[in-house]
Amino acid sequence: MYICVFFTAVMGMIIFIPAGAGGIINASYQLNQMVHNTWFVTGHFHLTIASTVLLTFFAISYWLIPVLTGRVFTKQLNRLAIVQAVPWAIGMFLMAVIMHIVGLLGTPRRTSYSTYGGHELAVTWLSYNQVIALGGVILFVAIVLVLYIWFNLLFLAPKSEKTIEYPIGVVNEQAEHPPRILERWPFWIGVSIALSVIAYAIPIYQLIMHAPLGSLPYRTW
């Protein structure tokens, strides 16, 4: 395995630690009331999707593209891939952390920037936006690097003289055979359906029994 594959994937896993902590806050009804629809949520997804998931995709591509194209992942490209992962992690982590902070200060998401009539709290959000923009610049450098690496792996890297083997798992000869029922699709499909019924039957029943839905209308007069 190339060092950059391991390095990039592990970096994504490490970033998922604070991402998971933020997810606990989003999943908590009481805590989520404080951060719902703020940039805190946006920062959370920058850690989970834009950091952990994309770094994992980068790592997979560094291994898979040479296998598909038959080209050599040279030492120079390997070092460059490690360099690429660092600014991506720094830029994304910088954006995400600031988004979490400014979200706790009340900055709403899904809205255009506004000072809300010159409110003193809203004015302070601008400086945070500048730091987020700096993170975006760092990310732009990182994405240019990854595009350069991909282009080289697709077209410019030297062809490998030997066939690059695709690793396939082999069952141990001494391994015990699982029960035959666990090898059948109908069993697992049935389990999935049963779990779905268990999860949704009671809530749907309560919605039907306590109809009509919704709260009482507001009286404005």
Q: What angle do CA 126, 132, 136 make, to 5 degrees?
A: 140
What SS3 state is found at 108? Answer: strand
Dihedral in degrees, nearest 10, Cα atoms 33, 101, 25, 39: 60
On the 0-12 / 13-18 / 19+ scale of CB atoms within 10 A, 80 is middle
Q: So what's the pLDDT on residue 118?
A: 78
Report the distance separating Cα 137 and Cα 132, nearest Å.
9
Q: So what's the pLDDT on residue 204?
A: 87
What SS3 state is found at 171? Answer: coil
Q: Which of 23, 92, 17 is nearest to 54 (CA)?
A: 92
Q: So what's the pLDDT on residue 24?
A: 92
**Domain boundaries along the sequence of the chain:** 3-156, 180-209
Query: For every one of its 221 residues, what pLDDT tens digit does the chain have, with 9 covering 90 and above?
Result: 578 899 999 999 999 999 999 999 998 888 888 899 999 999 999 999 999 999 999 999 999 999 888 888 899 999 999 999 999 999 999 999 999 999 998 888 888 777 777 788 888 888 888 999 999 999 999 999 999 999 999 999 998 887 777 777 787 888 888 888 998 999 999 999 999 999 999 888 888 888 776 667 777 76
